[in-house]
Amino acid sequence: MRGFEPPISGPPDQHFNRTKLHPELVGKCSIDSLILMYNLTFEKIICMKKYILLVISLSMFFTSNAQKSLYFDGSNDNIQTNYSGVLGRTNRTFEAWVYVPSTAPNRNLVILDYGRNAVGSRNTFMVNTSRGLSFTSGGTNANMGTNANAVPLNKWTYVAFVLNNGAGYMYVDGVLQTTSNLSTVNTPSGWINLRLGYRVPGGSNLYFNGEMDEVRIWSTALTQQEIRDGMCKGVRSTHSKYSNLEAYWKLDEGTGTAAVDSSGNNRKGTINNGAIWKTYGAPVGTASAQQYGSSIRASLKHPDGDSLLASSVTGGAGGVHVYYREGTPNKTAIPSGFSALDTSRHWGVYVVGGSNSRYNLS
C-alpha cells in the first residue's frame, strides 16, 4: 500500500494528530487485511493485501510533489497577477479549492476578482457573509449567489463559477447550487488584472481569510461532468478543453512570493503582504475517479497495479472521489506497528456532502 493523505486536509493538529488514531486498528492492520472501515474525520489508516501502509502523523518533511496551499490572513494578504482575465462576454469558468475557517470575519471573502467597478464590469467571486457563494459584476442581471451556508467551514471545499452564454452556474463540490441570468456581464479590457484574495477598487477590499489552492481560469464553460472529473486532479495537456485553460495556479511552490502559472501562458502572480505557505492542501491528485448519486463508489487504478476502491459510503454523501498523487506525501513518519512506507505515491478519498460519512476501502 502506498502513502495516504487524509480526505480532508487541514491544520495538522486537527487532522494529523497521531493521538487521534485508533491504536487497536493500527495493531490489527496486517498484510492480510483487505478492508478497514474508515472514519472520515480522523483516522488515516488503510490496509491492502501484500502491501504495508501508512498512517499520517504530525511529522512534516518537505517533498517536491507534495500538496501545498496558501493561507490568507484576512487583513491584506493577496496575489496580484499579470493576467487581464476573460474579457467581454466570453464564456468563462473559475475554479478553486478554499478552506474557510469558522473564525473568518463576518463579511464577504473574495476568492478572486478582476475588471472594473462598474455595471457588468467586475468579476467578484467570493464566499459571502452568509457563507454562500456569490458572483457580483454589478447591476441588473449581473449578480448571483447560492443559498446561505453552501460553503462548509473548516474543511477543504471545491467552488466553481461558470458563465455560459449569459447564464451563470455555481457549483460546490461539483454539485450545482444555482443558476442565474447574467446577460449584463461584459468585462471591459484595460482595468484591474486578476487578483486572488481581494476586490477590485470601488468598495471594501473584502480580503479573503483562510486557505486557497488549485485556482484555474478557463475561457470556456466547463460542464458539470467536466467539473466533477477535474476537481480532484490536476489539469493535464490531454484535457479536451486544455486550449481554453487561461491560467492555472497550483500553489505548490511552498516558498517565496511567486505563484507560478501552470497553464503555459505565463500568467504569474505575486504574493503580497505575507500570505503563508502551508504544507498541506486540497485533495487534488495526479489522477482521480468519482461517482455521484446513490450507491456511490469510486475506483482508481495506477499503472503500477495499485488500486483503490471506495464503496459503501454512508452518512448521506452525494458523491465520492478517489485520487492518487505521485510522490511522497507531506507526512512520512512510519507509525509504530508498521515497517515501511512506500514513497512512490499516496492516495486519498474525498466525500461530497453528507455528515460523518464512513466508507469501505479495498
CB of 196 to Ca ion, least distance (A): 13
Between 73 and 342, name the residue whose CB sits nearer to Ca ion: 73
CB of 20 to Ca ion, least distance (A): 24
CB of 336 to Ca ion, least distance (A): 30
Of 32, 10, 51, the C-alpha closest to 340 is 51
CA distance 292 to 287: 17
Residue 134 host element (H or E): strand 133-136
Residue 14 host element (H or E): helix 12-15
CB of 234 to Ca ion, least distance (A): 9
Between 116 and 216, name the residue whose CB sits nearer to Ca ion: 216
Between 145 and 285, name the residue whose CB sits nearer to Ca ion: 285
Reading the block at residue 270, the C-alpha cell is: 505575486
Chain centroid, CA 137 distance in Å: 24
CB of 329 to Ca ion, least distance (A): 13
CA distance 218 to 245: 5
Binding site for Ca ion (CB under 5 A): 68, 73, 76-77, 213, 250-252, 273-274, 281
> 11: which residues sit within 8 A by CB, 6+ positions away?
none
CB of 330 to Ca ion, least distance (A): 11
Of 210, 222, 223, the C-alpha closest to 251 is 210
- Asked if residues 261 and 269 have their Cβ atoms less than 8 Å apart, the reply is yes
| Cβ neighbours of 201 (radius 10 Å) | 12
Between 75 and 336, name the residue whose CB sits nearer to Ca ion: 75
Between 19 and 255, name the residue whose CB sits nearer to Ca ion: 255
Between 57 and 67, name the residue whose CB sits nearer to Ca ion: 67
Between 273 and 279, name the residue whose CB sits nearer to Ca ion: 273
Of 360, 352, 346, the C-alpha closest to 53 is 346
> 223: which residues sit within 8 A by CB, 6+ positions away?
none
Of 197, 300, 253, the C-alpha closest to 67 is 253
Beta strands 342-352; 2-4: pairing state: parallel
CB of 63 to Ca ion, least distance (A): 13
CB of 72 to Ca ion, least distance (A): 8
Between 51 and 277, name the residue whose CB sits nearer to Ca ion: 277
User: What is the sign of the dihedral through the CA atoms of 18, 22, 28 and 30?
Assistant: negative
